[in-house]
Amino acid sequence: MGRPKARVSMADVARLAGVSSQTVSRVSTGHPGVVGSTRQQVLDAMKELGYRPNSAARALKSGQFRTIGVILFTLSTTGNSRTLEAIATHAALEGYAITLIPVAVPTQDSVLGAFTRLGELAVDGVIVIMEVHLLDSATVTLPPHVQVVVVDSDAGDRYTVVDTDQADGARQAVTHLLDLGHRTVWHVTGPEESFAGERRAQAWRDTLTAAGREVPPPLRGDWSAESGYRAGLRLADEPDCTAVFAANDQMALGVLRALHERGRAVPAQISVVGFDDIPESGSFIPPLTTVHQDFAEVGRHCVQGILRQIEHGETEHGTTLVPTRLVVRASTAPPRPA
Amino acid sequence: MGRPKARVSMADVARLAGVSSQTVSRVSTGHPGVVGSTRQQVLDAMKELGYRPNSAARALKSGQFRTIGVILFTLSTTGNSRTLEAIATHAALEGYAITLIPVAVPTQDSVLGAFTRLGELAVDGVIVIMEVHLLDSATVTLPPHVQVVVVDSDAGDRYTVVDTDQADGARQAVTHLLDLGHRTVWHVTGPEESFAGERRAQAWRDTLTAAGREVPPPLRGDWSAESGYRAGLRLADEPDCTAVFAANDQMALGVLRALHERGRAVPAQISVVGFDDIPESGSFIPPLTTVHQDFAEVGRHCVQGILRQIEHGETEHGTTLVPTRLVVRASTAPPRPA
DNA sequence: TCGGCCAATGTTTACGTAAACATGGCCGCC
DNA sequence: GGCGGCCATGTTTACGTAAACATTGGCCGA
């Protein structure tokens, strides 16, 4: 296909339509003050030439890129990829594009690197999906006019933060098990760098304490099913253990397998609750009782929050918590009478 | 913080350093021909002012955005999000940014819409992660100079295509089961719009036929664990069924649950093989034998392919297949002697 | 009837960068 | 010792768009 010309500019359209390029600009941006017949001529010319506005020129002129950057460490956790998807969808709805800024390793340095690169990137705002104690605001210099929204953090005083209500979710999980009659609840935690994990663990501890129950030693996991399996093997050896709260569904899956291999029936002998409600959790053996996270809602709030800052200049920080909901399936039951 | 100035331009740096803005440009782009002492002055001035190059102006001048667009339908499948992650990582390595273009529904219209929007987006190339029979090249007008690489498609004659070697993976799965002594292998397919699913099914059929075995009717799934569960319930009622090949791990999970509920032991009575090797599959009950897909490699080839086109103008199309590998775990065994 | 005003459109300019071209000073060679 | 050439740096210009300002021409009211 012999391409007629590398790129078609407003000037080309203007020439063909017999108007000035400014009139083309007015048509292109939908400004008023162009009479119908002229507008139509311009539109025809645009179509004939296959005109597309040059976004670089627009951005240069307006200082706005209509783009949101998303910094994240990994897409391999359900939450991150689902949140990103929701962000992308809502941003597209508002006419914003998403630029992905992957950070190879979750260290302070690489996050700093991402923020630095950001200065050169064409973004109006940034959403950070990451544990934020990695960000030491004192050493990070954000380019001016770049707004930030953070997921999975407690930095609500410095940034706008959106997150799932981790604490309430954990509380619901533990309360559900206590209500069933379990004396206490064991916990398989996330990795210690994770704020989400930390908060789930804290709420687990608080709920038990508030109910006057003993707090068993937590078992440290790393979100992976494999780590859940290792924890499960140890739990299977705890004669007193009748209820487990795993900090995510993958680890719960590992716990289920360990208990199954050790011949500990779920839920007859031991009840298990997860966190996330990944699509597969309803197909575990047995189907998992878990805490549902609304990632779509988190993504929606992120975009909403960043756009409020970008477009309306609002800089009021604060934390938005998205509610969770316990989904009761078949992995929990009252404890077997001793 | 009283921001000193909204944005710092080369002119500002030039003024402070006492040089011309062109010299600043040369330092900024790393061009030779600037003597050490001058260079240092400029660098100092940049640092003092917090100068960051304006990417919009650069793009306008150079006609290159150093950005790759990724069109995809959903991030909720393991494959898509893992592939995207690899693409983002490799693109970042090459100094390219990734712009996400989510398509709400996988219809021809919305893909067309994405391509149209693309014309206005600041991208040098596009990677499409999607079933491509949705793309009718006759009606799609791509902006000039935008290159395309496609995942999950057979359009190798029109585009550069990168994909997992679906056929070989399925062949390995089926052969493994036949080698164990199973007379034939049942198949739970993906949705019919999926090329990947189609090809796995075709290879399953071909492998059985080539071995002179009977081809049982395939059971249609939709990638979800739930659909696998439904298929599994039906398979549990097939007295002849001793081996099942599910087109992905999620459906295999559903099959496992159905068989478990119906009291059909895996692998003693029925062997199950999946596809994808998601991280959790090693923690299924029992741990799943499955076909490992190297999404990282797919992503790498995508970026490599698109950059070859963008930077070297190569337009030779073709298909790159990334090899798969069977991971044998505990869900397969020889059939019980009749 | 004519001045003024508004609506439609045209002209100029600036956004920040970098290529292309221009300048000036110094060094080496004959 | 003079001149050609080259290296370091400066000046001009263009990329495509859109805001700000300028210019038409027609219509309405006094």
| Domains of chain B and CATH, by start | 10-53 (1.10.260.40), 63-164+295-323 (3.40.50.2300), 166-294 (3.40.50.2300)
Q: Do B144 and A6 touch (CB under 8 A)?
A: yes
Which residues between 139 and 158 in chain A have a beta carbon less than 8 angstroms from any beta carbon of chain B?
141, 143-145
Looking at the complex, does the CB of residue B75 fall below 8 Å from at least one CB of chain A? yes
* d(C-alpha B254, C-alpha B221), whole Å: 10
Strand partners, B162: B151, B320
Residue A64 sits at the chain B interface (C-beta within 8 Å)? no
Confidence of residue B1 (pLDDT cuts 50, 70, 90): very low
Q: What integer pLDDT is reported at residue A107 of this predicted model? A: 66
Mean pLDDT over residues B255-274, rounded?
Answer: 97
Query: Which residue on chain A is closest to B54 by alpha carbon?
Result: A120
The partner residue sitting opposite B81, judged by closest CB among A75, A101, A280, is A75
Residues B152-174, mean pLDDT to the nearest whole number = 85
Taking the C-alpha atoms of B110, B114, B117 and B120 in order, what is their torsion angle to the nearest 10 degrees? Answer: -170
8 Å CB contact of A55 and B144: no
CA distance B35 to chain A (A): 25
pLDDT, one tens digit per residue, over B204-239 is 999 999 999 999 999 999 999 999 999 999 999 999
Cα torsion angle, A32, A37, A40, A45, sign? negative
Q: Is B76 part of the contact surface with chain A (CB cutoff 8 Å)?
A: yes
> Mapped to the 3 state alphabet, what secondary structure does B235-291 carry?
HHCCCCCCEEEECCHHHHHHHHHHHHHCCCCCCCCCEEEEEECCHHHHHCCCCCEEE
CA A66 – C1' D24 distance (Å)?
37
CA A159 to CA A196: how far, in whole Å?
17
| More confident of the two residues B50 and A202 | A202
Rounded Cα distance, B56 and B29, in Å = 15
Instruction: Output the tens digit of pLDDT for each of chain A's 338 residues.
Output: 333 445 789 999 999 999 999 999 999 988 888 888 889 999 999 999 988 888 899 999 988 888 999 988 888 888 889 999 999 999 988 889 899 988 876 666 676 677 666 666 788 888 888 765 555 544 455 555 667 777 776 666 678 889 899 999 999 999 999 999 999 999 999 998 888 899 999 999 999 999 999 999 999 999 999 999 999 999 999 999 999 999 999 999 999 999 999 999 999 999 999 999 999 999 999 999 999 999 999 999 999 999 988 888 777 788 899 999 999 999 999 998 75
Rg of chain B, C-alpha, whole Å:
26
B67–A101: do the CB atoms touch at under 8 Å? no
Nearest residue, CB atoms, A60 vs list B6, B60, B100: B60
What pLDDT does residue B316 have?
Answer: 75
- Cα separation, A117 vs A111, in Å, equals 10
Instruction: List the single residue in B with minimal CA-CA distance to A5.
Output: B144
- In this predicted structure, what is the pLDDT of residue B138? 43
Q: At a CB cut-off of 8 Å and minimum separation 6, what does A300 contact?
A: A86, A90
pLDDT value of position A3? 37
User: Per DSSP, which regions of A38-141 are E strands?
Assistant: 67-72, 97-102, 125-129
